[in-house]
Structure 1
Amino acid sequence: MRVLIATGIFHPDSGGPATYLHGLLPALQERGYTFHVLTYGDAPCEGYGYPVERISFKQSALRRRYLYAQRYAELAAQSDLIYVNMLGLPRPKVSKPLALKIVGDYAWERALIKGWIAPETDLDAFQSRRDLPHVAWFKARRAREARQADTILVPSQHLRRLVSGWGVPPERIQVIYNALEPTLHTPNLSQAEARAALHWQAEGRYLLTVGRLIALKGVQYLIQALDAVPDVQLIVAGDGEFLPQLRALVESCGVAGRVRFLGKVPHAQIPLLMRAADYVALYSSTEGLSHTLLEALHVGTPVIASARGGNPEVVRHGVNGLLVPHPDLAALRTALQHAFSAGVRDQLAAQTALGLERFAWQTMLDQTDRALRALLEKADVPSSG
């Protein structure tokens, strides 16, 4: 089966969509699939075991979109099926079966980033509110894109409800939970040994957050809430356009000695950081279904997460972590104080494995394979593989 993978980010880029595809494609190759990946970027294209094409960022945005659309049409004509890994890509309409993975609402994200809506605008409330014409245009565009897909894959029940509200028939939407790659490295070290390897203080108290540094990830709230736990250090692993604002906020909050920005960290080193930390925090505005939370729990580190998006489908409050209303600085401060109270961390860490079987790699792989083959069969297109 020849499949065009259309995506905006791909390995070695950071982010869930890139991580997801890099692990999934080799496993599906073993089941008879052949892939051609079309993405943006300037990283090397060799060494993947399948063709990867990157539209360079060294060109204007308009030309990038033109070249992407041109190659998309050419590659689609040579494929049995198209699997689009995100909304908002420049895709001319072609007569091929189309599977679309949706992990969020890019109309909401764009409106937040551009300042068209207030920073505290709730994703669910955004769906039904009346907006300015340019915001309404993006909402209509993403809904139209979704309705054009033959099959939509989402990683959480929350997203299934969201996408259904865009006018997509529920029977076309399948929930396939994200999963941990079987090759995910778990450090064979105690927390103390991990800290020694990283040159962290043995008796220190550490809160780790991992991800792209954009406003939606909520690192600014973690910085502001540090005053509730004066002896806790915040470790920030990741980079992004929001970094200058975060550095300025650290200074204005007077916590410069307690926040450490590591920059972009190779994914292979993240489990060691997670093992050394007391908690992994993800106080984002929303999440489809976070790989970061899954990885932290797999390593054995409890989590502190916003009670948004798919997070409540991973985190059981008071069992393997804490769920915190968002945005609510008072609630976040209270949660941090509770998390670092005597005995709480040990209690939560002892139960991090509970429920992780729902996110098994083999289950995700089997469900994705069935969804793609069913789509091809329904379209009555003879497979080449």
Structure 2
Amino acid sequence: MCVCEINRRSPAAVGVPDGSVRRMAPRLLIASGIFHPEAGGPATYLYELLPQLQQHGWDVRAISYGSAPVQQYPYPLSRIPRRALPLRLVDYARTARPLLQWADLTYVHTLGLPLSGGSAPRVLKIVGDQAWERSIRRGWIAPTEDIDVFQTKNYGPLVSLQKLARSREVRQMDYVIVPSVYLKRMVVGWGVAEDRVQVIYNALPPEQVDTPHTQAEARQHLQLDDRPFILTAARLTPWKGVDHLIAALAQVPDVRLLVAGDGPMRPALEQQVERLHLQDRVRLLGHVPRDQMALYMKAADYFALYSGYEGLSHVLLESLRAGTPVIASDKGGNPEVIQHGVNGLLVPYVDVEALAAALKEALRPGKRDALAAHAHANMERFNFVHMVEQTNATLKRLLI
């Protein structure tokens, strides 16, 4: 069964004098595994993008796993509770079937969804390698296994089957959208023709919350003193590298680390903080609401994202928009956002000694101000209006 959130009648069809119905808008089905208000880049991306696509003439409907409280959305949304397998797959497939028959185009945001039925073209947005993530979660490869090495290394039959299933499903799509050049290279490596993969950079919509103009004002709102602190925000999974940040912090006195986010690694991180006697310098904030997150980003001396993989991180864009420079790993799409020594520092992954050295460099007098002065460098590539227009044009080009 599903929880359906339908807030107003679709404008896709109108009556005409002879009593027939004339289609007025192309029908777009969004099929995802997560949706607003859940945390994560894909959920944020869809929440911001879909109203804009409606403004461009699309009749939008969406389906996703989730059991969040009913909220108001300007399009019908079917939520499928995350019951035990295979029940949730059956629920999703049953709900999706008539939607797939209804759609002129399906925009898929999660691999492995039970989407059987319908003949409309399918576009897939890829933001990572699900085979790599799943192999880490199931303990088939080490949490620190490099995603680039993973693409070609042989790990045995279980991992090979994951890779095969991922590549086969992606190749069956009519078109693929990725948020970085890095990801395009990866997807082409899975056997997808280069001319069927398009880079459309992620972007942020105009700010909708009033944030303080200065770092000092933000700290006052949060009741934080003027001691330096580094902020990181991530789902607490092994590849996000928060444990490496904590380990590096132990080598750098007089700076604090605030960690926003929750996830399966939280108990291990709490134990690490205690083992390293960093209870007075590391705070695990848990889930931080969006408006509060903007305050923390403005208040921080640096935002850190030392992850083993990023497609094109929304939080990096948010930090730079706030004027806060970044310390990031040199993995994935991070180098497409961060210019080393200009708006932040890029650090090899995994190298805790190099990370500690970068933290020390970042805390040198005047360094933060010099990087913050160029926080908006190269940000024109991540223009929200341009992202919407590119996405709209790409989707309409694929209509039958």
How high is the TM-score relative to the length of structure 2? Answer: 0.92
CA contact (8 A) 1:5 1:82 kept: yes
CA distance in 2, matches of 1:188, 1:232: 23
Give distance in 2, aligned partners of 1:163 and 1:213: 26
Contact 1:228 1:337 survives alignment (8 Å) = no
Residues 237 and 261 of structure 1 are in contact (CA less than 8 Å); yes or no, is this contact kept in structure 2?
yes
Q: Which moved more, 1:236-245 or 1:186-195?
A: 186-195
1:70-219 equivalences under 5 Å are: 70-92=94-116, 94-185=118-209, 187-202=211-226, 204-219=227-242
Question: How far apart in 2 are the matches of 1:49 and 1:160?
Answer: 32
Structure of greater Rg: 2
Secondary structure in structure 2 of the residue aligned to 1:228: coil
The one-letter code sitting in structure 2 at the alignment partner of 1:28 is: L
The SS at the match of 2:86 is helix
Q: CA RMSD in A?
A: 1.1
Aligned counterpart, 1:357: 380
Equivalent-residue separation in structure 2 for 1:73 and 1:118 (angstroms): 38
- As a proportion of its length, which structure holds more helix? 1
CA distance in 2, matches of 1:270, 1:34: 32
Name segments (4+ residues, structure 1) moved above 3 Å.
183-186
Instruction: Say whether 1:277 aligns with 2:311.
Output: no
Q: Distance in 2 between matches of 1:87 and 1:267?
A: 27
What are the Cα deviations for residues 206-260 of structure 1, in whole angstroms up to 9, with x where unaligned?
0000121111111111111112221111101111121111111111111111111
Identity over the aligned pairs, expressed in percent?
51
Instruction: Measure, in 1, the Cα distance between the counterparts of 2:154 and 2:267.
Output: 33
Counterpart in the other structure of 1:247: 270
Within 2, Cα distance between the matches of 1:119 and 1:309?
16
Count, aligned residues: 375
Preserved CA contact (<8 Å) 1:280 1:296: yes
**Residue in 2 that maps onto 1:66:** 90
1:187 alignment partner, SS class: coil
Contact 1:233 1:259 in 2 (8 A): yes
Letter in 1 for 2:175: T
The answer to which structure, 1 or 2, has the higher relative contact order (CA under 8 A, 6+ apart) is: 1
CA contact (8 A) 2:180 2:333 kept: yes
The answer for the alignment partner of 1:55 in structure 2 is 80
Residue equivalent to 2:22: none
Q: Indicate yes or no: 2:321 matched with 1:298.
A: yes
* Contact 2:238–2:265 (8 Å) recurs in 1: yes
Residues 294-333 of structure 1 correspond to what in structure 2 (within 5 A)? 294-333=317-356
Distance 1:127 1:272 in 2: 38
Residue aligning to 1:41: 66
Query: Which TM-score applies when normalising by structure 1?
Result: 0.95
Equivalent-residue separation in structure 2 for 1:280 and 1:372 (angstroms)? 34
> Using the alignment, how far apart are the partners of 1:300 and 1:236 within structure 2?
19
Could you report, residue by residue, the CA deviation over 1:299-333 in whole angstroms, capped at 9, with x for unpaired residues?
Answer: 00000000000000000000000000001111111
Amino acid at match of 2:166: R
Which runs of 5 or more structure 1 residues have no equivalent in the other structure? Answer: none
